[in-house]
Amino acid sequence: MNSSFYNGIAGTKTHQFGIDVWADNIANVNTTGFKSSTPEFASLFATTLTHSYFGSSITSDIGYGSRAQSTAMNTTQGPFQNTDSVFDLALGGEGWFGVKGTGNQTYYTRAGSFSIDGMGNMVDANGNYLLGTVGNNYTPTTLPEEVMKDFGSYYGLNNNMLLAQIYAVTQLQDIPLGPVQQQGMITLPDYLYYPPIPTQNISYKGNLDPKIIIESVDITVNEDDVNTTLNTVSNTASITGNLTNTPEALTPKEGDLVSIVLTDHTGQTQKVSAYLDENLAWSLVGVDLGDLDISQPLTTVATLSTMQEVPNVETFSTSIISPSGEKDVLSMVFTKQIPQPASGSVWDGVMQVRTFYENYAREEYDPSVTYDPSQYEIHADMGYVIKIYDPAQFYVDKTANKVYQITDSQVGQLTFGGAGQLLESTIPAMSNSGAPLAIFLGTANNYDGLTSSTNFNTSRSYTQDGQVAGLLKGYGMDERGNVIAEFTNGRSVPMAKVAVYHFQNDQGLTRTTSSLFQASSNSGNPIFYTDADGNFVLGSQVFSNRLESSNVNLATALTELIVMQKAFSGNAKSITTSDEMIKNAIQMKR
């Protein structure tokens, strides 16, 4: 009869333990990353009574109640909830985030609510440091003065605040996960600079239209084709000429006008004209020289006005990135050769790399200054002067009012076949302010670059490498578990990889708080998974802007709580029943 008391007491204690476990589950139904537990019971102990009947032994066990054996952790994944924070992380599978707390103790958690503290460290809500593999791909740097002005303007920093350390980042595609023992705190700098990458390769596609263009042109006749005979007595001249040594005149015709300007040694001029005859020559006899001084020979310049084919000109102008990060200009001007071969076309190319020099502007005329006419256009009556630039060294864009310095200039030639395909290119490599610049215009006997045909209407396009400089815009995550730095130039660079830890027995982890666990001898040491090549891999996808909710099933928890309550009441009833039985036995004695 006494054992029934012990059974009832053990039962109430055990089911009180069960109620506590399920109540804890219900209390954490909204705790991020919480893993529910299931209470497990065991028989306390038993006595054995042995009897002999008909030569055999029969054993009857009498139990002394139950005891709380353990709590089994439920490792199933909880539902995801979307958030606005890029550093709210969730694991799409098994595994644990690692965090380092006080005393250099490592904990493991599924609660992925992380942020950046004042020191640039990634921490959880309790200030524990998130563990991962750092890229070590940034170094201290000093920025040029003009870049520092942009830097301070972008971040809103004054001169004193600009003394803060700035780091230059190196581009990486991915950060390989290191061994378990090499995982450390993830520290992210406040100020990062993405250095410029100069353009070194550029390729073009498009069509150079070889259609024939007929226009009126004025051609200076070669001086060897003009003969002038003076008559000093009558003060007249006879002028004859032809086009034998003037190959620029492609298709002269009878009746084309020849304008002739006669200039004496004093600078006095006289103009006369003639027409080409059927032999493409002209003759003027007895030309009255008027007031010209013919005591010395005259200068005779003849100009032919005719209709003929003029060269087609195609211009390409593209921004390129210089080693200093400036946006320079690559200019390519292609001029069709005339006359053309019987089939195809040939184009002469002039390529220039130009860098901004200064603005093109009028300067106010200063009467006290003596201007060099070789360096300035002087318009004193209008009150201004304009600087003259050497065209071999500078290019003046009067539309944009900018002056560019020509840092490299090259010439080459493109030869195309009758079907418009590129046959040969002699365009050389160029210098982009010291960086090599390769220009791809197509492969021989192909149509993968520039073409030249009246049948094509290919839109122009180009591709190039290089990148302007960028300033840190913010941090984020990518799909490979990398913490990435995002820059104003559109580039992103991985800075660290968040580690995902695994265990042989997740249920063997020791719970220290509602969402933090420690490794134990039952769980085994943390491990990283490896791929077929032996490289460490995460093993589970890391989702950004998501948090894993508690995996407590509220319906199940409430049902189990009712069961525990009923069991608790039943065990309590066994105690009162045993008490009544003892009272009855005592009364029987009386």
DSSP string, 353-415: EEEEEEE---EE--TTS---TTTEEEETTTTEEEE---TTTEEEETTTTEEEEEEEEEEEEEE
The answer to whether residues 280 and 274 touch, using CB atoms and an 8 Å cutoff, is: no
Q: Tell me the pLDDT of the chain (590 aa) as tens digits.
A: 566 766 767 767 777 877 877 788 888 887 788 888 778 776 665 555 555 555 555 656 666 667 766 677 888 888 899 999 999 999 999 999 999 998 889 999 999 999 999 899 999 999 999 999 999 999 998 877 777 777 777 777 665 555 568 899 999 999 999 999 999 999 999 889 999 999 999 999 999 999 999 999 999 999 999 999 998 888 999 999 999 999 999 999 999 999 999 999 999 999 999 999 999 999 999 999 988 998 888 999 999 999 999 999 999 999 999 998 889 999 999 999 998 888 999 999 999 999 999 999 999 999 999 999 999 999 989 999 999 999 999 999 999 999 999 999 999 999 999 999 999 999 999 999 999 999 999 999 999 999 999 999 888 999 999 999 898 999 999 999 999 999 999 999 999 999 999 999 999 999 998 899 999 999 999 999 999 999 999 999 999 999 998 888 877 878 877 887 777 777 777 777 776 777 777 777 66
Strands 96-100 and 129-134: antiparallel
CA angle 114, 184, 74 (to 5 degrees): 55
β-bridge pairing 201-207 and 435-440: parallel
Cβ 584 vs Cβ 590: under 8 Å: no
Q: Which residues pair with 123 in a beta bridge?
A: 115, 129
Phi, psi (deg, nearest 5) at residue 140: -60, 145
Both tokens assigned to 222 = 């070669």
Tokens matching residue 156:
């809103």
- Tokens of residue 58, six digits: 């029969």
Burial level of 473, CB count in 10 A (0-12/13-18/19+)? middle
3-state secondary structure of 134: strand
Q: What does the alpha-carbon distance between residue 239 and residue 274 come to, in Å, rounded to a whole number?
A: 10
Q: What b/e sequence results for 126-157 when a residue is b if at least 16 CB atoms lie within 10 Å of its CB, and e otherwise?
A: eebbbbbbbbebbeeeebeeebeeebeeeeee
Residue 66 exposed, middle or buried by CB count within 10 Å (0-12, 13-18, 19+): buried
Q: Residue 157 is encoded by which pair of tokens?
A: 């920093």
478, 474, 475, 476: which is closest to 538 by C-alpha?
A: 478
Interacting residues of 342 by C-beta distance below 8 A, sequence separation 6+: none
Q: What is the pLDDT of residue 551?
A: 81
Let me know: does 425 contact 411? Beta carbons within 8 Å: no
Measured in degrees and rounded to the nearest 5, phi and psi for residue 328 equal -90, 180
Encoded tokens for 250: 């492609």
Nearest one of 459, 379, 472 to 157, comparing CA atoms: 472
Q: Which long-range contacts (CB under 8 A, 24 or more apart) does 390-395 make?
A: 394/357, 395/331, 395/352, 395/354
Three-state SS string across 274-289, please?
EECCCCCEEEEEEEEC
| pLDDT for 63 | 65
525 within 8 A of 42, measured Cβ to Cβ = no
Pairing of strands 422-425, 402-416: antiparallel
Cα–Cα dist 545/78, whole Å: 15
510 within 8 A of 73, measured Cβ to Cβ: no
As a whole number of angstroms, the distance between CA 252 and CA 246 comes to 11
For residue 536, CA distances in Å to 133, 178, 484, 531 come to: 11, 7, 20, 7
Report yes or no: 158 and 148 within 8 Å, Cβ to Cβ: no
Query: How far is Cα 414 from Cα 423, in angstroms, rounded to an integer?
Result: 8
Return the H-helix or E-strand segment holding 56: strand 56-63
pLDDT at 71: 75
Asked whether 149 and 122 are in contact (CB, 8 A), the reply is no
Q: Is 557 left (phi over 0), alpha (psi -120 to 50) or beta?
A: alpha
Q: What is the pLDDT of residues 501-527, one digit of tens each?
A: 999 999 999 999 889 999 999 999 999
Would you give the DSSP letter of residue 79?
A: P
φ and ψ at 575, to 5 degrees?
-70, -45
Q: For the chain, which residues make up each domain, given as ranges? A: 2-75+551-589, 80-195+471-544, 201-211+312-360+398-464, 226-302
What are the φ and ψ backbone dihedral angles of 11, each rounded to 5 degrees? -65, -40
- CB distance 250 to 340 below 8 Å: no
| Residue 415, pLDDT score | 96
* pLDDT at residue 364 in the model: 93
pLDDT, residue 68, reads: 65
